[in-house]
A = this chain, B = another copy of it.
Amino acid sequence: MNILRIDMEKLEYKYEELADELLLLGGRALTSKIVHDEVPGTCHPLGPNNKLVISNGVLTGSLASSAERSSMGAKSPLTGGIKESNAGGTAGLQMGRLGLRAIVFEGLRDDFQIVYINKDGVRFDSAEDLLGKPLSEAAELLYEKYGSNIGYYMIGVSGEMKMLTAAIANGDKDKNPTRFYGRGGLGAVAGVKGIKAVIFDDSGIARNKPKDAEKFKQAMRTYTEWLREAPATSKSFPELGTAALVRTTNKLGALPTRNFSTGSFEGHENISGEKLREIILERGGEGTPTHACMPGCAIRCSNIYADANGKMVTSPIEYENIGLLGSNLGIDDMDTVVELNRLCNEYAVDTIETGAAIGVAMEAGLLAFGDRQGAINLLEEVGKGSPLGRIIGGGAELVGKVYGIRKVPAVKGQSMPAYDPRAIKGLGVTYATSPQGADHTAGQTIRAQVNHLSPEGQVEASKKAQLTNMIYDVLGLCYFGASAVAGRFEVLADLASGYTGVEFTAEDMIDMAKETIRMEHAFNRAAGFSKAHDRLPEHFYLDENPASKTKFDVPDEELDLIGVEGY
């Protein structure tokens, strides 16, 4: 296994062998370690001292179910802290076959390049032809030029324009650029480094094989069995996708509605997972209610949404997108949510951040809550890069600063995903204390055995969830399998040991997760974060969520136990 270092200024590269003892360092553990070790905390995120790191999970390429995820890391231009964002798709698999655990991009450049990597090394091609195009069109051009077997990462017009909401896309198994490293503006970091796309071509390379085939096979069998048995992974996810959550959170009072002003939405049935399935099945054609984003995934939570003529519109429609682009905007129409989702994908902006940004714009009175066409028009400005589009493309906190709006649902500059932290307080703790800023995938507590409305036990629940999520992010496993695994991490450790041939226990994994969170906090301290940053925005403490009838009231002292100064 190698680490590939690419100097984008000089267009030079070199391979460094991954030391054996680092074979079990993957995904978020590796991106965060490299960013922690090599990037100065006070550097400018768009400056020459920041680095963009791509790292496969330990299992990525193994073809274990839902184990093809990779991580991207850097100092975030959105939060100013350390950032890791991960996604599924197919690029990780190809990158793994090319013998690469990680790629570290350094330097700045003004033009845009396609970084083409195959068994012979790295080539730099001009990206001129791809610039300014919708992502789906750019992806087609890539396939035309490089053949249909490639895997790729790519930024959109948002990254070309260095917007703070800019994401990086990864193609799914159907060759659509629909899997996003969405959070933290990493697309802007790629943008200033002149990276339009990274192409992996594994032609002529054999499939990776587990080092201890028997151990791997055994663990794999158990893991897959669990996925097939658990209700979430065997029924809810495949049938309704993550959108199954709409009814759940609406009932809890946690569905963000009209810029997080309440947690239940009168129009939620029109944008529920059930409604989504109904529409998709009714329309038929290219649409499907269940779909795997990665080869071999048993969970298949993804979907493809088609229009009235059965033609694919976009993929996937997820709970977060429905929450942020639907109820958070007062929009109760699935086709509108899907169109907003499609536009976000075409511009490669983070759907969560963009939905939150439009919500703040609605709060500022730029358009009314519920204004379907207005929201679409506003989002189209992002694609154009007009001043208004640049404002929205700057994310929720920036919109708040531009329009003098204080009710901005963001922590450390990053907007909240689709759970009101007053109604699922463990997630509020995660938003507040995670080194990543507000992010459900950094410590999801919705399934924790706590009273979500009470402040009690939430710090413990979040701490546990932060570790669990980290373990998945390190292995490259999708954390949607977590409910099936239910903390029986030995099997995951066996998967990792079997695949790499290096002994690894559940305890080792937990230690690595803790150490990575510690390292991330250390980076953030160097970047200027203190416990004052481990708080929710003031209005979540002052204003009651009318749906849950609660304010956020987890005491600061408890937050500090697992925050930047306490971890």
Contacts and interface: CB of A to CB of B under 8 A. Distances in A.
Interface of A: 41-49, 77, 161-164, 188, 191-192, 386-388, 390-391, 394, 398, 401-406, 525-533, 535, 537-539, 542
Contacts of A533: 528
A192 B404 contact: yes
Given A387-B391, A391-B391, A398-B398, A46 B528 contact: no
Nearest to A526: B532
B532 A404 contact: no
Nearest to A532: B528
Contacts of A406: 44-47, 192
A402 B41 CA distance: 22
Contact of A47 (B48, B387, B539): B539
A163 B538 contact: no
A483 to B, nearest CB: 35
Contact of A44 (B48, B526, B539): B539
A387 B389 CA distance: 9
A535 B41 CA distance: 11
A538 B47 contact: yes
A175 to B, nearest CB: 30
B528 A42 contact: no
A42 B192 CA distance: 33
A115 to B, nearest CB: 20
Given A44-B537, A538-B44, A401 B164 contact: yes
A42 B391 contact: no
Majority SS of interface residues in chain A?
A: loop
A402 B185 CA distance: 12
Given A188-B404, A530-B530, A535 B164 contact: no
Contact of A162 (B42, B403, B532, B542): B403
Nearest to A404: B162
Contact of A390 (B402, B528, B530): B402
Contacts of A42: 532, 535, 538
18 contacts: A42-B538, A43-B538, A47-B406, A47-B538, A47-B542, A48-B542, A161-B404, A192-B404, A387-B388, A387-B390, A387-B391, A391-B391, A391-B402, A394-B402, A528-B531, A528-B533, A529-B530, A530-B530
In this complex, the member of A42, A164, A391, A405 whose beta carbon has the largest number of chain B beta carbons within 10 angstroms is A42
Contacts of A539: 44, 47
A435 B120 CA distance: 55
A166 to B, nearest CB: 9
A87 to B, nearest CB: 22
B538 A530 contact: no
Contacts of A162: 403-404
Contact of A387 (B386, B398, B526): B386
Nearest to A413: B401
Nearest to A528: B532
Given A162-B404, A387-B388, A401-B164, A530 B535 contact: no
Given A42-B538, A45-B406, A164-B401, 18 more contacts: A41-B532, A43-B538, A44-B406, A44-B539, A46-B406, A77-B401, A163-B404, A387-B390, A387-B391, A390-B391, A391-B391, A391-B402, A394-B402, A398-B398, A398-B402, A527-B532, A528-B528, A528-B532
Contacts of A538: 42-44, 47, 49
A364 to B, nearest CB: 9
Nearest to A408: B44
Contacts of A391: 387, 390-391, 402
Nearest to A108: B406
Contacts of A537: 44
A305 B391 CA distance: 36
A51 to B, nearest CB: 14
A301 B188 CA distance: 46
Contacts of A390: 387, 391, 402-403
Contacts of A402: 390-391, 394, 398
A262 to B, nearest CB: 19
A81 B559 CA distance: 22
Nearest to A536: B42
Nearest to A389: B387
Contacts of A188: 404
Contacts of A191: 404
A406 B398 CA distance: 16
Contacts of A527: 532
Contacts of A405: 46
A538 B528 CA distance: 14
A404 B45 CA distance: 10
Nearest 9 A/B pairs, CB to CB = A162-B404, A528-B532, A387-B388, A387-B387, A44-B406, A46-B406, A44-B538, A47-B406, A390-B402
A74 to B, nearest CB: 14
